[in-house]
Chain A
Amino acid sequence: MSGPLLQLDGVRWSPRGHEVLRGITISVEAGELVALIGPTGSGKSTLRRILGRLLRPSAGRVRLGGRDAWSLAPGEVARRVAFLPQSPEASPDLTVAELVWHGRYPHHRGLARSFGGARPADRAAVESALHQAGVAELRAARLGELSGGEQRRAWIALVLAQEAELLLLDEPTAFLDIGHQLELLALLRRLHEERGTTTVMALHDLAYAGSHATRVVALSGGQVAADGPPGRVLTSEQLSALYGVPVTVLPGPAGAAGLPIVVPRSAAPGPDRGPGARPPGG
């Protein structure tokens, strides 16, 4: 398809006159891996709720492949955008394969939804999703037996089984330890490089945005404050202005391509305000 997969045009959200989003215009092309960053209160949460179609904007348009997102039936939207909320929960009794199978829900209708068996297309999609997310060997395992990182990969497999054009992930690394965070981001990066998967993810961690995204969109005060390749957005000046604290961005130990390090410039950095020490969410 020609044209952007996702296009936001002057999107506003102003409940009871309180302006949370003041006109967001972004477009995402096929094959991009976009990180959405911004301080608490920047409108990041609201924007991802709008993108997930949980919230209807007060003004402006959201287009998916050129069609207005709100003129499409929910099932049609779900075949174009796969949305994964922050830390979703499922019964610990569910197996990985059962969870991933739910990704086929938007592709079924009517009574076939309840009692139709798996069609070849469903089997292929689930199989491929299990492999892409690296949970094929865990298919028979119950979620309660898995580590946090494995569970998160199973959820990624669910949205992959949805076979949508665009993945929309809300804080995919939330509540994971550093090993599982890196493993998950490497998975997303691999999907981007090998399969051309288009992903928009809200991220709290600036270092990860710098190391894994191909493009960073920074929100501030309900507007797009900066938008471009990580090297251009994640600069000392921009981040200091964005978060209201003086910070310095240093190249990481692996050089320009590795994890950049964001260091507070305040006189005495407290032990609890180091980079990456902030809790996820917001």
Chain B
Amino acid sequence: MLIAGHRRIRPAPALAGAAAALLAAAVIAVSLGAVRLSLGEVAGGLLDAGDDTTRRIVWQLRVPRVLAAALVGAHLGLAGALLQGVTRNPLADPHILGFSSGAGFVAVALVVWAPGSPGALAPAGAFAGSLLSAAVVYALAWRGGISPVRFALSGVAVAALFTALSAAAISLSDLFTQAALSFLVGGLIGVGWDHLPRIAPYTAAGALAAVGLARSLNVLALGDDVARGLGMRVERVRLAAVAAAAALTGAAVAISGILAFVGLVAPHAARLLVGGDYRLVLPLSGLLGAALLVLADTAARTAWAPTEIPAGIVTAIVGAPVLLLLIRTRT
């Protein structure tokens, strides 16, 4: 990386830079596709000025997809930052800790066993699944308190369990399971305007929790004993952060399926840029997660055109080497 461990970017430029990067990624994403649009055409389409076809491509197909990718990416980035803070484990993320797998299992179960269920049920069900796996991880790690290491290891086990259950549900069903499969390797194929209002409440709840928890996560980084000595109700903070991460993850998985590595990479990039202060790391992780997934989804749509591949494949291909790099440099 270009930024050495000690050099930090000041907060305002870092946040402004990340917002600009997200905007640039969004403009690129709207312009690329089967019909390539110039910047002028994108602007025209957005302002309702261009021809009918361009307007339809911009407003009906690409803008909702870009917004969905940004929201899901922001959810995963924020959830990853919350979980890394609360477990003090730089390798924690919603996917590795099993939160995504629990959400994915419920989403798969709904598709396989309740194919007619209303779309609004998916985020709620996935949130429930995510909470369920979080609760299992929590219970397994509990021994009069939560140790970050036990928490992470329990998460790995629970992730494996729910992934296996999802695969079992798919292989036992005799339905057409393309939809179910798309939860295991997630993506944003076919996501449109109607998906956005379903996850917005979770976005708001997660953002609010992040605001409330940021300073406590900073203190928690000094260790449980120091945090208790400073009067923190450590288990309450941990529970709130885990629940917020579960809500964010569940809602994201409900519309995109399981996307690996976004929640891992975004907080790391944020910390490299601004240091360990969660008051900055949390919003920055959200912005970077959003930009990352917008780019990954654009690549997934266009790289093998006319065939679309799931964005989850792109995030895994990019994320796996990043994870290995982190393991080599950080542990």
Contact = CB atoms under 8 A, between A and B. Distances in A.
Interface of A: 52-54, 73-79, 81-85, 88-91, 93-94, 98-99, 102-103, 105-106, 108, 111, 113-115, 142, 159, 162
Nearest to A85: B225
Contacts of B231: 73-79, 105-106
A52 B223 contact: no
A54 B232 CA distance: 12
B1 interface: no
Interface residues of B, number: 25
A82 B229 contact: yes
B219 interface: yes
B230 interface: yes
Give the most central of B218, B226, B230, B279: most A CB within 10 Å.
Answer: B230
Max chain A C-beta neighbours (<10 A), residue from B6, B211, B225, B276: B225
B230 A78 contact: yes
Given A91-B221, A93-B5, A102-B222, A113 B229 contact: no
Contacts of B292: none
A153 to B, nearest CB: 16
A77 B62 CA distance: 55
B212 interface: yes
Given A84-B229, A91-B221, A94-B276, 19 more contacts: A52-B225, A52-B229, A74-B231, A75-B231, A79-B231, A83-B228, A85-B223, A85-B229, A88-B223, A88-B226, A89-B222, A93-B275, A98-B277, A102-B218, A102-B230, A103-B230, A106-B231, A113-B216, A114-B215
A90 B229 contact: no
B233 interface: yes
Contact of A52 (B6, B221, B228, B232): B228
Interface of B: 5-6, 211-216, 218-219, 221-223, 225-226, 228-233, 275-277, 279
A105 B215 contact: yes
Nearest to B222: A90
A111 B207 CA distance: 13
A75 B223 CA distance: 17
B213 A74 contact: no
Contacts of B230: 78, 102-103, 105-106, 162
Given A90-B222, A93-B5, A93-B6, A53 B276 contact: no
27 contacts: A52-B225, A52-B229, A53-B229, A54-B225, A74-B228, A74-B231, A78-B229, A79-B231, A83-B229, A85-B225, A85-B229, A88-B225, A91-B221, A93-B276, A98-B277, A99-B222, A102-B218, A102-B222, A103-B230, A111-B212, A113-B216, A114-B216, A114-B279, A115-B211, A115-B214, A115-B215, A162-B230
